[in-house]
Amino acid sequence: MNVLGIETSCDETSVAIISDNELKTNLISSQDFHKDFGGVVPELSSRAHLQILMPLIKNALSKSNISLDKIDLITATAGPGLIGALLVGLTFAKSLAYSLKKPFIPVNHIEGHIFSGFLMTEKPEFPYLCLVVSGGHTLLLIVKSDTDIQKLGTTIDDAAGEAFDKVSKLIGLGYPGGPKIQSIAESYQSDLINFPIAQCKKEFDFSFSGLKTAVLRHIQKNYGSSEQIPAGDLPMIAASFQASVVKALVNNVRKAIERFHVSSISLVGGVAANKLLGNELELLAHKFNKKLVIPSNEFCGDNAAMIAYRGLKLFNSGLKYNLDYNAYPGLSDNTFIKPFLQ
Ligand code: AMP
Ligand code: MG
């Protein structure tokens, strides 16, 4: 069984091929030019996907030594994401399925992330606690099986990755913020500024917009404006902000471990590449004797391997789709699995 996976939900064009349950190729082309604009420009993203997708598919087929007519299943991200970007990958996948007369499976991008730990050699064990932290989402979930996902909490304002990106922009480090803040924070070993951690009404929810405002107030009070921050103080601000985000995330994971029975913890999404977050969860997992699975960087960020993997699972569970299936930019956090059960 040869599966072709396509991911174009935001600023990564990615194509993967799974052959006989083994990942053969996972190619990712990142649209780095968005950094010049301080964030992802949707129209430019769609155009870049359009240009790169076909060559990337050809490249993935040749790297996997598989010809197009040997592909048995075509999967693509249907949402959530930027509508124009999603439509490029989804329309391409459906057209290919139509012309090759092969089945097509649309995949929820967040579900792709949730099960991305299964791309690793050490896999999560059900039931597992899953922390999804990306540029657009922050979710704490209990994953009981391939089709049973319980949502414990979500962000009531900014996503964790979005907070990294906004604060990075605020202190002049640019986009994408996560890696830049992490890298400058690494050199700082001294006292941290005590930025607040929000308490939400629902105990497993998250909130990061107050933290962003606290960083802004700190800058205004101490320096007047961001332009006047001495370069020597940037590591302290970055490290303090990063520590607060990590603390907010880890606190909720700890509460959930204490409350619910889980065998493993899985940290997924772009922010899962954050070393401090990984280290803190490692300590927590060790303390509670749980297995921790963090996908490698290749599978943390947006990638088609997780889409192909999830699409294959859904196909094997007997789901069938027609080619009318459309892109859903705002596929709600509450709709895991359901939209595909039709
Ligand atoms: P995704 O939405 O899954 O593509 O992930 C992209 C998000 O992850 C962006 O908001 C990045 O700033 C964030 N990110 C990537 N690497 C890191 C890191 N090392 N630390 C924190 N955030 C990161
Ligand atoms: Mg993502």
pLDDT digits (tens, 9 = 90+) for 5-16: 999 999 999 999
The pLDDT value given to residue 216: 97
pLDDT band of residue 224 (cuts 50, 70, 90) is very high
- Ligand 1, atom 22, residue with closest C-alpha: 178
Residue 126: pLDDT band (50, 70, 90) is very high
Q: Using 50, 70 and 90 to split pLDDT, how confident is the model at 255?
A: very high
CA-245 nearest atom, ligand 1: 21
Q: Residue 176's pLDDT is what?
A: 85
Q: Do 141 and 98 belong to one domain? A: no
The percent of residues in the chain predicted with pLDDT above 70, rounded, is 96
332 vs 313, which has greater pLDDT? 313
Which residue among 31, 249, 271 is best mutated to probe the pocket of ligand 1, counting the most ligand atoms within 8 A of its Cβ?
271
Token pair belonging to 323: 């080619």
39 lines ligand 1 (CB under 6 A): no
- Candidates 304, 163, 296; CA nearest to 242 is 163
Pairing of strands 148-154, 22-30: unpaired
CB of 80 closer than 6 angstroms to any ligand 1 atom: no
Question: Is 50 exceeded by the pLDDT of residue 209?
Answer: yes
Please indicate, yes or no, whether residues 140 and 278 belong to a single structural domain of this protein. yes
User: Mean pLDDT throughout 282-297?
Assistant: 97
Question: What pLDDT does residue 328 have?
Answer: 87
| Same-domain pairing of 131 and 239 | yes
On whether both 8 and 78 belong to a single domain, the answer is: yes
No. of helices (H) and no. of strands (E), the chain: 11, 10
- Ligand 1 pocket check for 270: Cβ under 6 Å: yes
Q: By CB neighbour count within 10 A (0-12 exposed, 13-18 middle, 19+ buried), where does 307 fall?
A: buried
Q: Are residues 178 and 222 in the same domain?
A: yes
Please provide the DSSP assignment of 167-233 as one string: HHHHTT--SSHHHHHHHHHTT--SPPP----PPPSSTT-B--HHHHHHHHHHHHHHHSSGGGS-GGG
User: What are the backbone angles phi and psi of residue 223, rounded to the nearest 5°?
Assistant: -130, -15
- Its domain, for residue 174, covers 122-294
Q: What does the pLDDT read at residue 330?
A: 83
Average pLDDT value over all residues in the chain: 94
Which residues does residue 139 pair with via DSSP β-bridges, in sequence order? 132, 154
pLDDT of 99 over the 90 cut: yes
Please count the structural domains in the chain.
2
Q: Are residues 290 and 309 in the same domain?
A: no
Nearest CA to ligand 1 atom 3: 270
CA distance 121 to 260: 26
R_g (Cα) of the chain, nearest Å? 20
Q: Widest CA span of the chain, in angstroms?
A: 64
Answer whether residue 201 shows pLDDT above 80.
Answer: yes
As given in the structure block, the two tokens for residue 4 are 């072709």
Is the CB of residue 238 below 6 angstroms from any atom belonging to ligand 1?
Answer: no
Tell me whether strands 148-154 and 264-268 are parallel, antiparallel or unpaired: unpaired
Ligand 1: atom nearest CA of 269 is 3
Q: pLDDT at position 340, please?
A: 45
Ligand number nearest CA of 301 is 1
**Where among 258, 278, 294 does a domain terminate?**
294
Can you tell me the distance from the alpha carbon of 180 to that of 184, in angstroms, rounded to the nearest whole number?
Answer: 6
CA of 294 to the centre of ligand 1 (A): 14
State the CATH number of the domain containing residue 151.
3.30.420.40
Residue 83 and residue 126 in one domain: no
Residues 144 and 285 in one domain: yes
Give the pLDDT confidence score for residue 77 in this predicted structure: 96
Average pLDDT on 105-118 reads: 95
pLDDT score of 93 = 98
Q: Report whether pLDDT(249) > 50.
A: yes
For residue 321, what pLDDT band results from cuts at 50, 70 and 90? confident
CB 138 within 8 A of CB 154: yes
Q: Band of the pLDDT at 322, cuts 50, 70, 90?
A: confident
Which atom of ligand 1 has the smallest separation from the CA of 160?
10
Q: 129 and 101 share a domain?
A: no
181 with 277, same domain: the answer is yes
Q: What residue's CA is closest to ligand 1, atom 2?
A: 135
Contact 302 CB / ligand 1 (< 6 Å): yes
If asked whether residues 216 and 279 sit together in one domain, one would say yes
Mean pLDDT, to the nearest integer, of 89-103?
97
112 lines ligand 1 (CB under 6 A): no
- Is the CB of 271 inside a 6 Å radius of any atom of ligand 1? yes
Q: Are residues 47 and 101 in the same domain?
A: yes
